[in-house]
Amino acid sequence: MWPDGSSFTGMFYLSYREGYGTMYMKTRLFQGLYKADERFGPGIETYPDGSQEVGLWFREHLIKLCTEIPCSVSISSYPEFEGFLTHSPARISLSEEETMHWDLQEEQDPFFYDYKQFLLNDDLTLSPDVYLYSTDNTHMPITRSFRRDLDSRIFLHDIPPFVEDGEPWFIKNETPLMVKIQKHTYKFR
């Protein structure tokens, strides 16, 4: 609950709204997916008059409606863009989650051990016994092993595959933001 009377029912992850939840505000209601305390994915916002906005959300913005509008403009109306319609759709899977892929050859990268090593080695990310002198951890980086541990406790199992054999699934929109939204949506499906 917040001082203005707003409330959230759902999951929190490191003190932020995460996953599906319902946000009750003074004059409206939002039911949908959150990531790091922001709307991020499918959701429905309902207003006092009963009207609703349904679609994909990014923060406070509705970025894609979940309905087709009859007689609307379509890319298929323009032959010069035919190449975009004929290529095979991309596929993604959660095993490709944002991980750092570096070729660990320090002789080719003279600055490798000056800063990049901190991102790869959990022991160097945080000072030893940091919990003894810091009670506010919101500004500190989260180690990859800590995030994996939290995820394993929240999801209880490995992230389930989309189909029985674990094949990646097709995506319709390959823009970076939409790929992230689709991965996050799938993670909490």
- Tokens 């189909």 locate to 163
Position 155 pLDDT exceeds 90: no
The model's pTM: 0.68
Q: Which two tokens stand for residue 62?
A: 């509705």
Position 95 pLDDT exceeds 90: no
Phi, psi of 79 (to 5 degrees): -60, -25
As to burial, measured by CB atoms within 10 angstroms (0-12 exposed, 13-18 middle, 19+ buried), residue 19 is: middle
Q: What pLDDT, in 10s, does the model give residues 161-188? A: 444 445 666 777 778 888 888 888 887 8
In 33-62, which positions are buried (b, 16+ CB within 10 angstroms) versus exposed (e)?
bbbeeebbbbbebeeeeeeeebbbbbeeee
Q: Where are the domains of the chain?
A: 7-63, 88-188
Q: What pLDDT, in 10s, does the model give residues 19-28? A: 999 999 999 9
Contact 61, 45 (CB under 8 A): no
Phi, psi of 182 (to 5 degrees): -65, -40
Position 71 pLDDT exceeds 80: no
Residue 133 neighbours by CB under 8 Å, 6+ apart: none
For residue 119, name the pLDDT band (cuts at 50, 70, 90): low
Strands 169-170 vs 38-46: parallel, antiparallel or unpaired:
unpaired
